[in-house]
Amino acid sequence: MKRRLGRAWRSSGGRLAALFAIAFLAGLWLRALPISLLAACALVLGYGLLRLARFAARLAGPRRMPAADGGGIWDEIENLTRRQQRAAIADKRRMVQRLRAFRDAASALPDAVIALDPGLRIEWFNAAAANLLGLQYPADLGAHLPNLVRAPRFGEWLRRGADEPLPDLPSPADEERRLDLRLIRHADDRSLLVVRDVSQLVRLEQVRRDFVANVSHELRTPLTVVHGYLDMIEPEQVPEYESILHELRSQSRRMTQIVEDLLTLSRLEARNDLPQERIGMRPLLEALRREADALSQGQHTVTTELSEGRDLLGSAKELHSAFSNLVSNAVRYMPAGGRITLRWERDADGGARLAVTDTGQGIPAQHLPRLTERFYRVSTSRSRETGGTGLGLSIVKHVLHLHQARLDIRSEPGVGSTFACVFGSERLLEPLALAHAP
């Protein structure tokens, strides 16, 4: 490139020198040297202006710069520009090809992908989005997404910031289909809405639930019969089988309890909401304390602390059973002499929590994330000895989920554990006396 440019400079310089030499000699011969030199300058300037005008016109024109073969500096400038134009066009073509390939790949995705601007207006969407959300191409480009997907849950989810995925939304195009939505924010406040069709998964989950519910229901009757007959046999009638009879009774009681807990779980899973009642926390805490005392039979000290005055809104029956589960665990997993504290207190973010703290053996950290799984036990033998089914904390988690609340578990081996049910402020009610005050 440098060599060609050098050659062009030399060629143009040679031509210029030749022109001025001719003008000089002609000036001498005609005895009009200044005029002859001036004419040569005007010629050079005029030619320069002419080439500049042609260059500008070709740059501005719609066609590509043609190849120039004069060999001078102007021709070289035109050729260089032509080469850069060609490189830019090739780059653009490659970019367009890549963009097209990317769009084709995104269009072929089974999941719906919708690109949104900062105002949640649709910039682009793939074929699956048209199918799953009923979007129309190109009519819906530029439309405000919440105006097209009108489900109240969707609007509420966006208003709350859409930080968590939105599960199990019926498709606006077909109510039978279930969708999982996820909003991914990226540069410049733009975002990508990714929607998955989970109808198949939801159906399988329903089959699983129905199966567990049906099996538990079918087991209930034969178990009741076996249990009834076992109760009818007096140990004195079969003294040689007394210990076997005792074991049979305890195992049939355990099976009955497991079946009852599985049925409770199925019942909770099938519900989307529960009755909304005002629950006075002072009497509830007292009732829980009495239950703990009765279970513990004087082996533990049970105290209550009430620093939050507001009442709770929810299902009295289900919440009572969930809290009882935590209290019963505290009693069952703590050696004699321990302390249990039941607290109803304000939570950091304006809500409130019911915390059951014990000074028992504690739970090693690696077990904590799995405690609410069905049949997960830290120590199987201790759970069985104390009549546990391994389903208690799963039931607690479900009840809390139906109250938009969560279970917070803190534990330190050798020090004790705290199981806290954390409720949002929307579940709290001012006490009646205050609520009715003028």
Residue ranges binding ligand ADP (CB under 6 A): 329-330, 333, 358, 360, 363, 371, 376-379, 383, 388-393, 417
Closest CB to ligand ADP among residues 315, 394: 394
Closest CB to ligand ADP among residues 73, 326: 326
What is the residue whose two structure tokens read 């003294």?
239
State the Cα–Cα distance between residues 79 and 412, nearest whole angstrom.
78
Closest CB to ligand ADP among residues 72, 360: 360
State the Cα–Cα distance between residues 358 and 372, nearest whole angstrom.
18
State the Cα–Cα distance between residues 209 and 52, nearest whole angstrom.
82
State the Cα–Cα distance between residues 345 and 355, nearest whole angstrom.
8
How far apart are CB 204 and ligand ADP at their closest, in Å? 25
How far apart are CB 333 and ligand ADP at their closest, in Å? 4
Closest CB to ligand ADP among residues 182, 377: 377
How far apart are CB 254 and ligand ADP at their closest, in Å? 10
Closest CB to ligand ADP among residues 314, 392: 392
Spell out where 117-156 has E strands.
122-125
What is the residue whose two structure tokens read 């949640």?
120
State the Cα–Cα distance between residues 251 and 219, nearest whole angstrom.
14
Closest CB to ligand ADP among residues 93, 370: 370
- Any idea what DSSP says for residue 189? G
Nearest in space to 185 (alpha carbons), one of 255, 120, 236? 120
How far apart are CB 368 and ligand ADP at their closest, in Å? 9
How far apart are CB 388 and ligand ADP at their closest, in Å? 3
How far apart are CB 378 and ligand ADP at their closest, in Å? 3
DSSP alpha helix (H) spans, 233-353: 242-269, 281-296, 316-332
CB atoms within 10 A of CB 9: 13
Closest CB to ligand ADP among residues 191, 329: 329
CA quadruple 153, 154, 155, 159: dihedral sign: positive
The β-bridge relationship of strands 416-423 and 339-346 is: unpaired
How far apart are CB 250 and ligand ADP at their closest, in Å? 15
